[in-house]
Structure 1
Amino acid sequence: MDRTIRRATADDISGIQRVVANSWRDAYDGLISEEQLVELTDRPAEFYPEERFQRKLNDEELLFFVALAGDEVAGLINFCWGEDNTHEFVESDGCQIRSLYLDPRFWREGIGTSLFETGREAIPGEIDELFVEVLSANERGRAFYESIGFTQIDHRTVTLYGEPLETQLYRRET
């Protein structure tokens, strides 16, 4: 099956919603409460609303890519920079990976790495460092970022849907 990575378009929304929901179901199973996970992912269009996606498409300080397996959205990544888009741990010359999700059917096929490399090559040249935040208990996610050169720099506690969760902060040079 052909694999393609390209900029996301408005036509991708339903596939993106499906991928985000499916990825959350598998990746965060056991990390957040089952009740909360079901409530969030049972209605993908509500969990990841089209308006949120449209704002990202129109933001000049954000890059949004999708990976296609044939005609189906298999994964997505978005990179952002600028004070309005990044969390406080991102330095002024840095860029944050805000999301990287793959449909679990496509895990371990190199799609995540391809999405990352495509986005990394497209970010503005004045950006020197990349940052990402990963749930501490998300061992699969942490291993992925470490495998592509990220180093843990700190940790913090965040509240996600009412639940306090530990996260790890990572950095790497572009």
Structure 2
Amino acid sequence: MTPSVTVRPVASFAEFRAGSRVVRLAWRAAFDHIISEAALPPTELDEDRASELKAAYETASAANESHIVAVADEESADTGGAVTGGESIVGYARGVWDPVRTESFAADDDAELRALYVRPDHWGEGIGSALLSSLESNAPAGVDRLALQTFADNEDGCAFYRTRGFEVVGENTYEVGDESYPTVVFAKPLEAE
């Protein structure tokens, strides 16, 4: 059964932390054939990483970023350990609007889609599309395109972005641990409102 899902901005550190867990779970499921087991993130945070996450949350609230979550009510979702106040965080996305903070593959008038992840037990339910749509519709004035990079070997991710109007605009690399992995850079023009 597909849960009832609401997409909205992150409302608390607990939701931000639950979103971080969604990212870690999705990385482990989606990229286990691309990067080594040792480089995959752990499913749970140690205390040092939890402190880093708290600092990132405090910084993000003051930056030109958008952090959104897909929230399923607990009654209709298998919580998978990412529950906050009777709700389950099943997806997380992050958009960066500041040209000083976006990666080098993004032009000055681009926004960067820095993260878009859905808990693996909820793949195929339209949650990723809903998160993407929310980021696109809430991009600030003056942002012409949404740009992102994903691993070149991430066939499912590449297909997801292509079917949602993104086109390949370049190649790059991404460092994980001591390894460098080839990436594909996608971009999509945003509709002017």
TM-score, normalised to structure 2, is 0.83
Unaligned stretches of 5+ in structure 2?
A: 74-86
Q: How does 1:10-25 map to 2 (within 5 A)?
A: 10=12, 11-25=14-28
2:115 to 95, 99, 108: 99
**1:73 CA drift (Å):** 0.2
**Counterpart residue number, 2:7:** 5
Matched, 1:118 2:122: no
Matched, 1:57 2:61: yes
Aligned residues: CA RMSD: 1.6
**Counterpart residue number, 1:166:** 182
Matched, 1:33 2:36: yes
**1:44 CA drift (Å):** 3.0
**1:89 CA drift (Å):** 1.5
Q: Is the 8 A contact 1:21 1:44 kept in 2?
A: no
**1:128 CA drift (Å):** 0.9
* 2:34 counterpart letter in structure 1: L
Which one has a larger percent helix, Structure 1 or Structure 2?
1
Aligned residue pairs, count: 171
Q: What is the CA–CA distance in structure 1 between the aligned matches of 2:16 and 2:170, rounded to whole Å?
A: 33
Q: Are residues 14 and 93 of structure 1, via their aligned partners in 2, closer, same or farther at CA, if it must alter by over 3 Å?
A: closer
Q: What is the CA–CA distance in structure 2 between the aligned matches of 1:34 and 1:120, rounded to whole Å?
A: 33
**1:158 CA drift (Å):** 2.7
Matched, 1:139 2:140: no
Q: What is the CA–CA distance in structure 2 between the aligned matches of 1:14 and 1:78, rounded to whole Å?
A: 13
1:83 to 99, 107, 118: 99
3-state SS in 1 of match to 2:61:
helix
Unaligned stretches of 5+ in structure 1?
A: none
Q: Is the 8 A contact 2:21 2:44 kept in 1?
A: no
